[in-house]
Amino acid sequence: MQHRFIKTGLATVAAVVLTLGVAACSSGAPADSASAGSAISADRCAKNKAAGTINYLSGYQFQSSASILEYIAASKLGYFSDLCLDVQLKPGSGDTAQNTKLLASGQATVSAISQQDLIQARANGIDIEGISSYSNAGLDILMTNPGITDLTQLDGQVVGHKGYVPASVEAMMVKAGVDWNSLKLVKEGYDPSVLPRKQDGLAALTGFISNEPNQLKAAGDKVTVWQPVKYGIPSSLGAMAVNPAFAKAHPTAVQDVLRAALHAYEYCTANDANIEKCVGFAADLSGGATYDTKLNATIWKTETQVVADNPTPGQPLGGMDAENITKLVDMLHQFEIVPAGVTGTEAADWFDDSYIKAIYKGDALIWPAP
């Protein structure tokens, strides 16, 4: 999943997501950036300007997550402007289904949509296209108290979730031999301390690797984190999708949005000073004083470390793995999330890696654009 619900003191933005009309930030270059378009040819600049306003919709507000922070930084550092792109940053509410609909309708141009959510959306007739992904590892995890050393110890126990158990977590537990039908599944809120307190008899709790474990660690609570990727379960991290009609009409703009974001990703992972600066950009967009910069810096470091630890096989950063898409379809079939008639071959056509291929020479990102 792309969305994370954490307490960062950010105001609710449901109305913003529905209208995409307020709380936007343009890609105007800062004073120390190159002048707009100076980094590319006049012809490419003209093509990118012809794309008009590009509405980027985040997965969850302006949290410092992969697929969010680098887009904020690309705007604030002037990278979009350098490529003659007019990118407006819009905060998402965390509702992935809403994001897919806004993207398909053209109200959003590009958005953070996990590969598994894109497959589910397309299976439901929502026309969007996947254009990049950072890793086949995901953020969904299961946490247990330290006494659990084997997942089969959860048989007959109480497992908490945020509304449903993510498919990748369920697949991990089933693969590990857990008797799924023996579990008592209960919906919990967003306070992870319910696990160490064993509220409602909890033995385990779902979460996101960059969020709840970091909150619990900061509070001095110890939990064991179980990652689906370590069990060979498919997922995705930092995946992006685009409105297909826009992509067909403006391919260089799609390439250069990714190019600028990946250039910013490099900047925001280079050192601690750059991380602090990038998170500061997100804090400024989110109201400043109410934004938990320490937690958000930890979120960014955790997610980018997951990407570094689980690179997409044979691909540069952002490149997609066709085999992973097939595995995702199989997993979604396993839990009857998409119809059996949806095949891996069909799903592969819902993703286009040409935009990523166009911005790399080998494993090196081409900056600026030709």
How much of the chain is in helix, strand and coil states, percent to nearest 5? 45, 15, 40
**Shared domain check, 266 and 127:** yes
Q: What is the pLDDT of residue 39?
A: 75
**Shared domain check, 320 and 245:** yes
Q: What is the pLDDT of residue 148?
A: 97
For 143, what's the count of Cα atoms within 13 Å in the CB-facing half-sphere?
A: 28
Residue 227 has pLDDT above 90, yes or no: yes
Q: What is the pLDDT of residues 196-225, one digit of tens each?
A: 999 999 999 999 999 999 999 999 999 999
For 35-44, 96-105, 124-133, 240-249, which range has the lowest pLDDT when averaged over its residues? 35-44
**Shared domain check, 116 and 254:** yes
Which of 231, 257, 290 finishes a domain?
A: 231
Q: What is the pLDDT of residues 327-339, one digit of tens each?
A: 999 999 999 999 9
For the chain, give the mean pLDDT.
91
**Shared domain check, 166 and 127:** no
**Shared domain check, 158 and 191:** yes
Q: What is the pLDDT of residue 29?
A: 45
Could you tell me if residue 258 is inside a domain?
yes
Q: What is the pLDDT of residue 26?
A: 55
Distances (CA, A) of 347 to 21, 32, 131: 32, 43, 13
Query: b/e for 236-255, b at 16 or more Cβ within 10 A?
Result: bbbbbbbbbebbeebbbbbb
Residue 366 has pLDDT above 90, yes or no: yes
Region 77-104: mean pLDDT is 96
Q: What is the pLDDT of residues 42-58, one digit of tens each?
A: 999 999 999 999 999 99
The confidence band for 370, taking pLDDT boundaries of 50, 70 and 90, is confident
Could you tell me if residue 223 is inside a domain?
yes
Q: What is the pLDDT of residue 38?
A: 64
Could you tell me if residue 189 is inside a domain?
yes
**Shared domain check, 251 and 361:** yes
Could you tell me if residue 220 is inside a domain?
yes
Q: Which residue has the higher pLDDT, 81 or 18?
A: 81
CATH number (domain holding residue 114): 3.40.190.10
Residue 19 has pLDDT above 90, yes or no: no
- Work out the burial of residue 336: count CB atoms within 10 Å of its CB; fewer than 13 is exposed, 13-18 middle, 19 or more buried: exposed
Q: What is the pLDDT of residues 180-203, one digit of tens each?
A: 999 999 999 889 999 999 999 999
**Shared domain check, 167 and 262:** no
Which of 193, 212, 231 finishes a domain?
A: 231
**Shared domain check, 247 and 119:** yes
Can you list the positions of beta strands (E) in the chain?
Answer: 53-57, 60-61, 86-90, 92-93, 110-112, 129-132, 140-144, 158-161, 184-187, 202-208, 224-226, 240-242, 360-361, 364-365
Q: What is the pLDDT of residue 36?
A: 58
**Shared domain check, 177 and 164:** yes
Which of 206, 231, 256 finishes a domain?
A: 231
For 67, what's the count of Cα atoms within 13 Å in the CB-facing half-sphere?
A: 33
Residue 231 has pLDDT above 60, yes or no: yes
Range of the domain at 213: 140-231
Domain count, the chain: 2
Residue 162 has pLDDT above 60, yes or no: yes
**Shared domain check, 354 and 248:** yes
**Shared domain check, 122 and 187:** no
**Shared domain check, 202 and 175:** yes
Q: What is the pLDDT of residue 17?
A: 38
